Amino acid sequence: MTKNLEEGQYIVYENDLKGVERSDQEELLKLIEQEPNTRFLGTSVGVLIYRFGRNFYDSTAVAEKLADTKEKLRQIGIQQDSLPLDRKLRKKEEKLESKVAGLERKLEFGNALMRTGNPVVILDSTLTEKTYRNLKGYLVNHGFFDAKVNYEVETKNQKAFVTYQITENKPYILDSVYTRSENEEIVRILNLNPQNSLIKKGEIYVQDNIAAERNRIEELLKNNGFYMFSRSYINYIAYQDTAAKTIRLEQVIQKPTFSEKHEVYTLDSIVFRINPPSDEFADRRVQTRYNHINFSFYRDRYSAKILASRVQLQKGAPYSRTKAIETQRLLNNLDLFRFVNITFDTLGTSLTANIFTQPNQKYQLTNQLGMTITEQLPGPFFSTALRNRNFFRAGEILEFNFRAGLEGVASATGQGVYQSSELNTSVSVIFPRFLIPFAPSSLQKFGKYNPNTRVQFGYLFTNRPEYRRNAINGLLAYNWSTQNNRQTFTVNAADISYIRTPFIQNEFAQILTNLQQEGNNLIWSFLPSFISSFSGQTIINFNRYGDFKTRKAALLRVFGESGGTSLNFFNVKSNDEPGIEFANFQWLKGQIDFRRYYPVNEKQTFAYRFNFGMARPYGVSAGILPYEKYFFAGGGTSIRAWQARRLGPGSYSPTRGTRGEYDFTTEQPAEMILESMLEYRRKLFGYFDMALFIDAGNAWMIGRDAARPGADFRYDRFYKEIALGAGWGIRMDFDFLVIRLDLATKAIDPSQPEGSRWVLDNLSFRQPFGKRGQTVFNFGIGYPF
């Protein structure tokens, strides 16, 4: 790393922060301006990549090319003045603008290789001094007024070791907080819920809490009618006692400059205007009034009832900024408008709310081409979607979807990896309301929950090495969310499918027949069948899980399903009756999926997942589930040391191969799954991240499975059948796309005899990938959870 350094230059090899006792050390570490390059075994791969890329980089040539491109762009601009509507010129201009942006980025940050890696961090005394000021400022702003910060730089072999020594001393404590205002209404509102205040007596004085409390008070008062109030009217006076190390804080609400006191504003009228897409329709306006809202449409193509259900502002009510923002969000969620703007006109203490929108494009075509993987080897996919907005002139959206994809999957008959293809097409209508018979008031009552009803018809074709499967599906689903968008609900009131398997490979058919002879009637899952179910799901998103820039995010998904419920009211033959050629199914299924994301600092995070599910057939099913309703363990988003769908169930031992090793080629359906995954993620350099992970879990049959001894769940032994896998992975995070490469090895294999299930010691330097099936390589798109 010290290669090619000039005399007097040193790389920042290590930063050390000492003396931190009560402050947040992680926050202090973030303030250090120069962070050492990430190293592995003493070498920084990021620096090596950067230096390699620099060999092919000529900044002078890039600057000349940038100047030449800018000149071409300028000439295009001159031509545009005389031919402003020329599409070819506009397209050429857009390409040149994109090229200029790319060259500017290249001139500033280097070529693609240089941007993927990172340059060596050379000690800069001005940045070290800036770090000192950052640390000192942070401590003062967090109540440590008497804190001292010193730093020391030691150099050795062109490496710099920087130590920041902090002496916190005693922090200042808030002794009292007092609010002073001549406006009794404001004082009353602030005293309603004092526990919500962010500045409390007895806590350490923190400047950030003062700023946050100012924002909270502004939001609180604006939601209680004080339209003209702003945080600038809130001042704080701190009286410092240096002997007792305490602060007496006075919160002052100042008078407005334009009147004697802050007034409460009420909504006098609401105007909803949909502007025409061009001047062509300016004279085709339609005026109507509904629910005290004055609507103005450029054409009679919109439903005032639907739009009014999304407007949370009410005539005669005090102004509320939260309701204005919620109105804007609900109207945007309709996907009917390019934008939604809300402004307010004042007359005395009365407000007129003006909602301005413009229609979105009537038709939208979206095409996607990419790579996908659900089991083993990635394959290409193509999808297209056509949207027709406002289809029935009441906010409905008509959707056509088509998707075709190829993947590589392991054959269930043990004949290697085969190509699997899937084709899926559907047509659906999304109604922006609940379709509830004999409930006319539901539109206004539930509008604030952003309700919609989806009616969908689809066709699915699956072509695997072992079988070809066709399915025709119909769906009636209700969706809604809470007002803060934290929790979403889905109820599939009717999910109906007709499934046929016109082709079954001879070898796979023989496997199913052999299983049937051993007491396992999995073959019934491949008979023609009519499947119907009722299901519900809720997802609780704590702190926006999925946006991995937030702290301590979590997600909980709860799912329940009742299949074939309507068959209880009819006299239907059971699947185990002789000569059955058409299968019927009844089952109950439930699943809980919890995910937790905990960042340690900006570079390191822990992620955790717990997944539990049960599915139980009953009635005419005669102990068999539809194949798609089984649980499967193993794979890139499950226990990664096992191939997809190949783990378990229980302690069942797969058949042995010709060399005596276990054969994991056959899928293992189960009625119960229990799995947990813990992953440590760390940013390396550029686009590259790494991960270390441990996966544990298994799947079981709830009842006895004669064909698979040890597959059933037993309380006295299930804990001995928990499979354990561990591994590491490399991820390339491009923000819009995450490519994942994971290598996992088995540590505890429940398919082995008791006493021999610890298999991690099968790894050796001579056999880095262990025995056959010991280590599994996973390729994936996106994070595993």
Q: For the segment 23-73, what is each residue's pLDDT rounded down to a tens digit?
A: 988 889 889 998 887 777 777 778 888 888 888 888 888 888 888 888 888
Do residue 67 and residue 215 come from a single domain?
no
- Whether 96 maps to a domain, the answer reads yes
CA distance 147 to 245: 13
CA distance 494 to 477: 7
Q: What is the mean pLDDT of the chain?
A: 85
Residue 655's pLDDT is 63
- Among residues 297, 326, 359, the one where a domain terminates is 359
pLDDT of residue 768 exceeding 60, the answer is no
92 or 330, greater pLDDT: 330
CA distance 521 to 508: 14
Q: How many CB atoms lie within 10 A of CB 287?
A: 8
Which of 695, 688, 638 lies closest to 668, judged by CA? Answer: 638
- Whether 533 maps to a domain, the answer reads no
Confidence of residue 7 (pLDDT cuts 50, 70, 90): confident
Confidence of residue 278 (pLDDT cuts 50, 70, 90): low
Mean pLDDT is lowest, of 73-82, 253-262, 610-619, 736-745, for: 73-82
CA distance 651 to 712: 9
Average pLDDT, integer, range 171-181:
91
Coil, strand or helix at 476? strand
Q: How many CB atoms lie within 10 A of CB 10?
A: 21
Residue 111's pLDDT is 83
CB 494 within 8 A of CB 476: yes
Mean pLDDT is lowest, of 182-191, 369-378, 735-744, for: 369-378
Do residue 160 and residue 15 come from a single domain?
yes
507 or 630, greater pLDDT: 630
CA distance 122 to 119: 9
pLDDT of residue 88 exceeding 80, the answer is no
Residue 760's pLDDT is 83
- Whether 500 maps to a domain, the answer reads no
The percentage of the chain sitting over the pLDDT mark of 70, rounded to a whole number, equals: 90
Helices 321-333 and 207-222, axial angle in degrees (round to 10): 80
Average pLDDT, integer, range 113-122:
82
Confidence of residue 259 (pLDDT cuts 50, 70, 90): confident
Residue 653's pLDDT is 84
Q: According to the per-residue pLDDT averaged within each range, which of 101-115, 222-236, 277-291 is highest?
A: 222-236
pLDDT of residue 144 exceeding 90, the answer is yes
Average pLDDT, integer, range 102-127:
85
Do residue 108 and residue 19 come from a single domain?
yes
Mean pLDDT is lowest, of 60-74, 241-255, 458-472, 561-575, for: 561-575
pLDDT of residue 399 exceeding 90, the answer is yes
Residue 150's pLDDT is 93
CA distance 496 to 530: 8
CB 744 within 8 A of CB 727: yes
Residue with tokens 């979206």: 366
Q: How many CB atoms lie within 10 A of CB 471?
A: 18
Average pLDDT, integer, range 663-674:
80
Residue 260's pLDDT is 86
CB 575 within 8 A of CB 625: no
CA distance 725 to 12: 37
- Whether 547 maps to a domain, the answer reads no
DSSP 416-435: -EEEEEEEEEEEEEEESS--
- Among residues 225, 253, 281, the one where a domain terminates is 253
Confidence of residue 663 (pLDDT cuts 50, 70, 90): low
Average pLDDT, integer, range 472-476:
95
Longest distance between any two alpha carbons in the chain, whole Å:
94
Do residue 186 and residue 76 come from a single domain?
no
- Give residue 296's Cα distance to chain centre: 38
pLDDT of residue 369 exceeding 90, the answer is no
Do residue 193 and residue 338 come from a single domain?
no
Range of the domain at 299: 266-359
pLDDT of residue 222 exceeding 80, the answer is yes
CA distance 460 to 433: 28
The percentage of the chain sitting over the pLDDT mark of 90, rounded to a whole number, equals: 42
Do residue 187 and residue 218 come from a single domain?
yes
- Whether 327 maps to a domain, the answer reads yes
Confidence of residue 660 (pLDDT cuts 50, 70, 90): very low
Average pLDDT, integer, range 505-526:
77
Do residue 243 and residue 177 come from a single domain?
yes
- Whether 413 maps to a domain, the answer reads no
Average pLDDT, integer, range 607-620:
93
- Among residues 150, 167, 184, the one where a domain terminates is 167
Residue 151's pLDDT is 92
- Whether 135 maps to a domain, the answer reads yes
CATH number for 293: 3.10.20.310
Confidence of residue 767 (pLDDT cuts 50, 70, 90): low
Helix (H) or strand (E) holding 177: strand 173-180
Do residue 206 and residue 285 come from a single domain?
no
CA distance 574 to 569: 14
139 or 739, greater pLDDT: 139
CA distance 619 to 588: 11
CB 206 within 8 A of CB 142: yes
CB 353 within 8 A of CB 344: yes
Do residue 332 and residue 190 come from a single domain?
no
Do residue 160 and residue 181 come from a single domain?
no
708 or 441, greater pLDDT: 708
Q: What's the pTM value of the predicted model, to 2 decimals? A: 0.79
Do residue 179 and residue 316 come from a single domain?
no
pLDDT of residue 765 exceeding 70, the answer is no
The count of residues in the chain is 785
Average pLDDT, integer, range 345-373:
86
Task: Provide the domain count of the chain.
Answer: 3
What is the token pair recorded at 312? 């949370």
What is the token pair recorded at 38? 């990430």
220 or 55, greater pLDDT: 220
Q: How many CB atoms lie within 10 A of CB 258?
A: 7
- Whether 781 maps to a domain, the answer reads no
Do residue 41 and residue 161 come from a single domain?
yes
